Chain A
Amino acid sequence: MDTPSQLLQLLFTGLTLGSIYALIGLALVTTFNITGILNLAQGEFVTIGALLAISLYATGLPLAAAFIIAVLLVAALGGVLERCAIQTARQASALTLIIITLGLSIFLRGLALLVWGTETYSLPAFSEGGPLFIGGAAITPQSFWIFGLTALTLAGLYAFFELTYWGKAVKAAVLNRTAARLMGINPNRLSLLAFLASGALGAAAGIFIAPVTMTTYDMGFMLGVKGFVAAVIGGLNNIGGAVLGGILLGILESFSAGLISSGLKDAFAIIILIGVLLVRPQGIIGSLKERKI
């Protein structure tokens, strides 16, 4: 393997990893945009979605059916948690709400441990066949599925936020709840919607990555952290930024592990995060100016 194809290989790996982080970052940004809450339980939605789909698939259901049922169940779970835990504390400060989501994350992890135990599970790849070779570098079909889901989610969210009335309503509700209420927008319903959507998105991401990363009850935490870093790099309220942040993070991890040393890869991620927070707290794209009233 010569140097150019080695670099290409690292790029492909980085893109796959980056898309995974981007998906979780997207879900975080969506909830944040709608409710102003950073949902630290997002990683657990990913885990539970994947584990549910694996269990359903093991009962003999076709993969597509298992996927749909798992996504719906986790969306419902997101909704129930929002009604029980977030809505009842709606008057509390943002910090309190974030801590509540942390509590939810620990609760869900414990639940997953009780139901599925500590074993590692995995799903078969969605499409048959070995890896493709492009310029001497290999890329698995499952990576394309993950790219596709990321692109589709990005496009869908972009269209929702920028092109629809409801998207605008959502943004208005975050900026000023009272004013939005006066305009006939119900922020409580939007908050429920946000958790339903982030549950579904998290579960879908979890099922798509399960054939690549395998699934354990505790994998959500680390994925949540990486998704959080991706979202912060992107500016936390910018969906394009979250995808860019995730992919940047993935590529950086892959190149630092492949070219320098694998021990440095997490260090690089954290250095970038601190750098972005210090130099451009509005994120690498940053659209905070537009949000000033």
Chain B
Amino acid sequence: MKRSLRKSVMASLLILLLATSVLASGCGSSGDSDGEGVTGEEQYKIGAVLDISGKASSLGTPERDTLQMMVKQLNTQGGINGHQVDLTILDNKSDETEAVLAAKTLIEKDVLAVLGCSSSGPSMAMLNTVQNEKVPMISLAAASSIVEPVSERQWVFKTAQSDKVTVGKITNYLREQNINKVAFLYMNNAYGDGGRKAFSEAAKENNIEVLVEDKFEASDKDMTPQLTRVKASQAEALIIWAIPPSASIATKNFKDLGLTIPLIHSHGVGNQKFIDLAQGAAEGVILPIGKLTVAQQIPDTDPQKEVLQTYINNYTQKYGSPPDSFGGYAWDAFNLVVNAIEKAGPDRAAIRDELEKTQGFTGISGVFNISAQDHNGLDEESMVLVQIKDGKWQLLE
């Protein structure tokens, strides 16, 4: 009996291990394509790899919806120079390996450019593939390292504000409030790590002391242990670099622990899901974010106002709820690549060159000024600080 019990325990352990590896490597990929060839002209193929399912699905889903809406609009208006656009969207299941496989599938289909991924980890994973195959890629994720150093990322661009830009906005706020001692918690993945690196550099420059620095896993269910260390420290503010649901859980734990210091999040929580999941605990949270979420509150003189309103109206009309900043990243990426193809024609190298020459393009995430030194092209002007009040985004100051 003892032997057989031990054997069955060992067998189940083995099976669990196998199952984990199967889960980790993922199996197969699904996709849906949107676009029909009706005209005689040859179709232009564009590919997108998004985090539609898995941990970052709250990012990938609005991006998919936005892209599907836009390609339909573009094709009914006659496409690019009379060519219909065939957009193929693949799901990477928020997984690095799946992202690379999807990128390779798209490149074999001869797409002119690849959009995606939604989050930093999978985006980083695709870099090598697009660099080797010389295919332009526009990431929708935040980490600066996706486009830096530019000398090694010739073919890679991105539309989400880099973590450096976001961090700059946060350190400015801390300086204004005379806060010199902070705690920093981040999620243990490429997004969190990018935020940590950018913040610790900026903190050093601004003489801000980081008393506690700790991480949590994206799948963690309770961040109280990490927050306990924050509570025990003399920190005057807490900065959390994560996306929901873990960002929401951390916020809830923060309130439950009775912490009263200012809580600052990153732009990774820029969707309604964050507020809903935190169940009231998000009140008072401060974060830097693109102007989309507070489009009604920004002055009419803002150069982005009109673009933002149009996007909000179109999206709300089609899907019944207003878009969030993640959908905005997809809007920008799609328009950037369409503009580039319009000028360059169906040639990958020429499209890349055109992307690099983009100047003064008014998008959802800001006004893009891309150059050979900066493949993101956004500055601090592209973001505003907001505070969550009564479950809504409120422009700060």
Contacts and interface: CB of A to CB of B under 8 A. Distances in A.
Interface of A: 1-3, 6, 9-10, 12-13, 16-17, 20, 36, 38, 40, 94-95, 98-99, 102, 105-106, 113, 117-120, 122, 124-125, 130-131, 133, 138, 140, 175, 209, 212-214, 216, 218-219, 221-222, 225, 228, 232, 236-237, 254-255, 257-258, 261-263, 266, 277, 281-282, 288, 291-293
A13 B224 contact: yes
Contacts of B10: 277
Given A120-B58, A214-B248, A38 B258 contact: no
Given A6-B231, A38-B9, A98-B11, 5 more contacts: A94-B4, A102-B19, A106-B19, A113-B53, A120-B58
Given A120-B245, A216-B245, A257 B225 contact: yes
Interface in B29-65: 52-54, 57-58, 61
A15 B247 CA distance: 22
Contacts of A119: 57-58, 273
Contact of A140 (B15, B256, B277): B256
Given A1-B232, A232-B9, A262 B214 contact: yes
B371 to A, nearest CB: 37
Of B1, B12, B16, B231, most buried by chain A (CB within 10 Å of CB) is B12
Of B4, B52, B245, most buried by chain A (CB within 10 Å of CB) is B245
Contact of B258 (A3, A40, A133): A133
Closest 7 CB pairs of A and B: A258-B225, A118-B57, A213-B221, A257-B225, A120-B245, A13-B224, A1-B231
Contacts of A232: 9
Contacts of A124: 279
Contact of A288 (B2, B61, B214, B226): B2
B256 A237 contact: no
Interface string B178-218: 00000000001000000000000000000000000011110
B9 A214 contact: no
19 contacts: A2-B232, A17-B221, A17-B222, A38-B8, A40-B16, A40-B19, A102-B19, A105-B19, A118-B53, A118-B54, A118-B57, A119-B273, A122-B276, A124-B279, A130-B256, A232-B9, A255-B225, A257-B225, A261-B214
B263 interface: no
A236 B5 contact: yes
B109 to A, nearest CB: 25
Interface string B144-185: 000000000000000000000000000000000000000000
Nearest to A254: B225
Nearest to A97: B8
A138 B258 contact: yes
Of A16, A130, A214, most buried by chain B (CB within 10 Å of CB) is A214
Nearest to A124: B279
A225 B249 contact: no
B229 interface: yes
Interface of B: 1-2, 4-6, 8-12, 15-16, 19-20, 23, 52-54, 57-58, 61, 188, 214-217, 219-222, 224-226, 228-229, 231-232, 244-245, 248-249, 255-258, 273, 276-277, 279
B1 A291 contact: yes
B8 A16 contact: no
Given A118-B57, A228-B16, A288-B1, A221 B225 contact: no
A209 B6 CA distance: 31
B221 A6 contact: no
A263 B188 contact: yes
B258 A131 contact: yes
B327 to A, nearest CB: 16
B249 to A, nearest CB: 7
A281 B9 contact: yes
B216 A262 contact: yes
Contact of A263 (B54, B215, B225, B228): B215
A22 B232 CA distance: 29
Of B57, B228, B276, most buried by chain A (CB within 10 Å of CB) is B228
Contacts of B8: 36, 38, 94-95, 98
B228 A228 contact: no
